[in-house]
Amino acid sequence: MCKEGDPAAQRIHRGNADRMILVSVVFGLSGVLGTQVSYEAPRDIGQALSLALTVQEAENQEKFN
């Protein structure tokens, strides 16, 4: 994270870091899980994780049935 004192620059750097984490998580998912989450185009890491858990639960239910 940038150590600049400018709050605007810090927000920009934080936003860039958050986007890089989100992309890393989404593209790190494999199979149907990764495909579904990437199709949904989550806006943040919380939404990506929520979608991943929902898809995983749906896959588990499908296997159970």
- As for how many domains the chain has, the answer is 1
In a domain, 17, yes or no: yes
In a domain, 1, yes or no: no
Query: CB atoms < 10 A from the CB of 57, how many?
Result: 10
The boundaries of the domain holding residue 12 are 7-64
Could you tell me if residue 12 is left (phi over 0), alpha (psi between -120 and 50 degrees) or otherwise beta? alpha
pLDDT tens digits, the chain, 65 residues: what are they? 556 678 888 899 999 999 999 999 999 999 988 999 999 999 999 999 999 999 999 999 988 88
**pLDDT at residue 64, as a whole number:** 86
In a domain, 40, yes or no: yes
In a domain, 44, yes or no: yes
Q: What is the pTM of this model?
A: 0.73
In a domain, 2, yes or no: no
